[in-house]
């Protein structure tokens, strides 16, 4: 039996395609991931996305063993700041290509997806013949030569060792450790103390805030009561505040340096003990600007303790009794806030 020229050509192209796909499937890539909680990227999730993007090539995590016939990839989170990440590929003791990504505009699970796609694109551009569906005239990919233990493919980066069993139907997602925050938004509430100095005035009260990665909106109510010769002087201060985080960092215990602005009202009441003295009340608007340090200590995936230290300057009200100043919300102040937060908007989705 004789085959037509067209059938022979079709068989040749089909055979070359199968050979190229088989070679791509045999390409082994060893991936090193540097963990950084402040980057809000889960290494386990990133690995799963990267394995899907680089398929059919075999992707494994770097466990410190000698590298044999494999490409070496690296993802270095928090490269200079929590929003920067370095991705690189190397072979045989040298770095072939690298790229720095800015994730400032990427939130949640999309950070891991973005890094995985960029990693696959970098590998494709570094090894143009390593595409799974190349043309017939492209040579199959050739893995790099053996790299000995004394000549690592990439500079040491404290790679993360994660045990990843094969996914099974109905198997729950990988869990974080107890003190890893996996949320991007927080609802916080607690108690606040604020101290003014001229004259010495201490106010206390509750606060409630809603925050995302950078911005926070807060309501605050403070009160103070001071005894004088003819009665008591009470101050009531209600404020709303908006804060923005300029710097942040940390891993299990995270911190943020924020700028804060406040607007509100303050009332001063004079309550006499003698019926012969008339009760006096006064109110006015108040504004304040401050800098604050926020410390967040997670105790579970969505619950934790939030502490704030604040210092700033306010323009408010001054209360007097018998011609002497007794209480004020004017001038320099320092504050301490302590509370609990509940997080939502998970950074890591179930799969």
User: Which SS3 state, helix, strand or coil, does residue 112 take?
Assistant: helix
C-alpha–C-alpha distance, residues 41 and 176, integer Å: 12
Q: What is the CATH number of the domain that holds 97?
A: 3.40.50
- Structural domain ending residue among the three candidates 90, 110, 130: 130
Verify that 318 and 190 share a domain, yes or no: yes
C-alpha–C-alpha distance, residues 79 and 82, integer Å: 7
According to DSSP, the residues that pair with 218 across neighbouring strands are: 209, 241
- Whether 253 maps to a domain, the answer reads yes
According to DSSP, the residues that pair with 255 across neighbouring strands are: 249, 295
Verify that 190 and 104 share a domain, yes or no: no
CB 206 within 8 A of CB 214: no
Tens-binned pLDDT, residue by residue, of the chain (351 aa)? 454 555 444 454 444 444 444 444 456 888 888 888 888 888 888 889 988 888 888 888 876 665 556 788 889 898 888 889 999 888 756 677 888 999 988 888 888 899 999 988 888 887 755 444 333 344 444 444 444 444 444 454 454 444 444 444 444 333 344 344 556 789 999 999 999 998 999 999 999 999 987 899 999 999 999 888 778 899 999 999 999 999 988 767 889 999 999 999 999 988 887 665 556 788 999 999 999 999 999 888 789 999 999 999 999 998 888 778 889 999 999 999 999 999 886 443 332
Q: Is the peptide bond before 199 cis (omega within 30 degrees of 0)?
A: yes
- Whether 270 maps to a domain, the answer reads yes
pTM over cut 0.95: no
Verify that 123 and 192 share a domain, yes or no: no
Token pair recorded at residue 186: 């927080």
Q: What is the CATH number of the domain that holds 282?
A: 2.40.160.20
* R_g (Cα) of the chain, nearest Å: 31
CB 318 within 8 A of CB 330: yes
CA atoms within 13 A on the CB side of 133: 0
- Whether 158 maps to a domain, the answer reads no
The 84-91 sheet, strands edge to edge: 58-61, 28-34, 71-77, 84-91, 94-102
Verify that 24 and 105 share a domain, yes or no: yes
Structural domain range at position 331:
183-346
The structural domain count of the chain equals: 2
How many other C-beta atoms can be found within 10 angstroms of the C-beta atom of residue 351? Answer: 13
């Amino acid at each position: 039996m004789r085959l037509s020229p067209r059938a022979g050509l079709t068989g040749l192209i089909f055979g070359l395609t199968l050979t190229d796909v088989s070679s791509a499937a045999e390409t082994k890539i060893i991936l090193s991931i540097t963990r950084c909680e402040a980057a809000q990227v889960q290494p386990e999730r990133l690995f799963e996305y990267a394995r899907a993007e680089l398929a059919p090539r075999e992707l494994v995590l770097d466990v410190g063993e000698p590298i044999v016939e494999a490409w070496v990839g690296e993802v270095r989170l928090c490269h200079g700041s929590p929003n920067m990440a370095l991705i690189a590929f190397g072979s045989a003791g040298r770095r072939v290509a690298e790229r720095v990504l800015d994730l400032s505009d990427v939130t949640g699970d999309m950070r891991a997806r973005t890094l995985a796609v960029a990693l696959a694109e970098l590998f494709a551009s570094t090894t143009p013949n390593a595409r799974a569906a190349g043309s017939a005239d492209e040579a199959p990919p050739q893995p790099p030569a053996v790299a000995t233990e004394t000549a690592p493919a990439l500079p040491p980066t404290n790679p993360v060792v994660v045990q990843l069993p094969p996914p099974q139907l109905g198997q729950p997602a990988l869990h974080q450790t107890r003190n890893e925050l996996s949320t991007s938004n927080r609802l916080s509430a607690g108690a606040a103390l604020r101290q003014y100095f001229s004259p010495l005035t201490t106010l206390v009260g509750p606060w409630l805030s809603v925050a995302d990665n950078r911005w926070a909106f807060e309501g605050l109510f403070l009160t103070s009561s001071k005894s004088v010769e003819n009665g008591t002087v009470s101050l009531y201060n209600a404020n709303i505040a908006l804060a923005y985080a300029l710097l942040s960092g940390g891993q299990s215990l995270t911190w943020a340096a924020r700028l804060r602005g406040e607007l509100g009202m303050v009332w001063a009441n004079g309550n006499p003990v003698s019926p012969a003295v008339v009760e006096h009340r006064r109110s006015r608007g108040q504004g304040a600007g401050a800098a604050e340090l926020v410390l967040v200590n997670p105790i579970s995936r969505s619950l934790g303790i939030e502490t704030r230290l604040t210092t700033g300057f306010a323009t408010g009200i001054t209360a007097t009794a018998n011609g002497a100043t007794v209480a004020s919300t004017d001038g320099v102040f320092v504050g301490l806030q302590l509370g609990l937060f509940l997080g939502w908007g998970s950074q890591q989705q179930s799969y």
